[in-house]
Amino acid sequence: MISRKLYNRISLLRKERDISRKDLAEKIGVNFQTVGYLEREEYNPSLDLAFKISEYFNLPVEFIFSTKPMKPLSQELYDKTKNQ
Amino acid sequence: MISRKLYNRISLLRKERDISRKDLAEKIGVNFQTVGYLEREEYNPSLDLAFKISEYFNLPVEFIFSTKPMKPLSQELYDKTKNQ
DNA sequence: ATATTTCGTTGTATATTTACAACATTATAT
DNA sequence: ATATAATGTTGTAAATATACAACGAAATAT
């Protein structure tokens, strides 16, 4: 299958919680370089890996990963407040 | 990575919409045997493949795939109505 | 200032997903 | 009843994800 590029917010979420790649990697049970590859968006994770990350951050898969480029959280939040 | 077994509702959703594996496979751009492997839960799809299926059925990834065995839709719906 | 941790990156090996061909079985249509 | 389509399955090849080692650069702590 020709995979589309997938975007993600892993690095952002990780920084918000101030944990290192190594820590995150240990928590979800993968190699720390694998987290690096993911953050650089160099490949598409397996669904199980996506679930592990989603469970760790306690957020839906669709919030962390997307087929379209991610807006910064700040802007997305601002847009949301504006529309209400 | 040692992947957990993932459960899914692909076959159910496909039957609800009365489309064949071949049709679904064409729509999401994979081989029709790949849909077979997925329905038999013989491997974990890539996140991109999961997204394609989720987009096709217009349902969240978490509704279609789960780390825990899926309840029949009928029971899940009944539980929902009971709780309200 | 120096040590330590984290990050970015590259390369190679292994594991897993996906494609594809083949064929028997079951279901559906004519 | 026969043809056609759909399914279940197996095997092999290919593509892609992940592990792991290595190393230099940047950031942080002491």
For residue B37, being part of any structural domain is answered with yes
Q: Is residue A22 part of a domain?
A: yes
Q: List pLDDT tens digits, range A52-83.
A: 999 999 999 999 999 998 887 778 888 888 87
Does residue A1 lie in a domain region? Answer: no
Residue A2 falls inside a structural domain:
no
User: Whose CB is within 7 A of strand D?
Assistant: A 1-3, 29-31, 33-34, 37-38, 43-46, 48-49; B 1, 11, 14, 20-23, 32-33, 36-37, 39-40, 46
Task: Give the separation between CA B52 and CA B30, rounded to whole angstroms.
Answer: 10
How, if at all, do strands A65-66 and A7-8 pair? Answer: antiparallel
**Structural domain count of chain B:** 1
Residue A26 located in a structural domain: yes
State the ipTM, two decimals: 0.88
CATH number, position A37: 1.10.260.40
Q: Is residue B57 part of a domain?
A: yes
Domain span at residue A46 reads 7-82
The pLDDT score that the predictor gives to residue A63 is: 94
Nearest to A46 among B3, B29, B51 (CB): B3
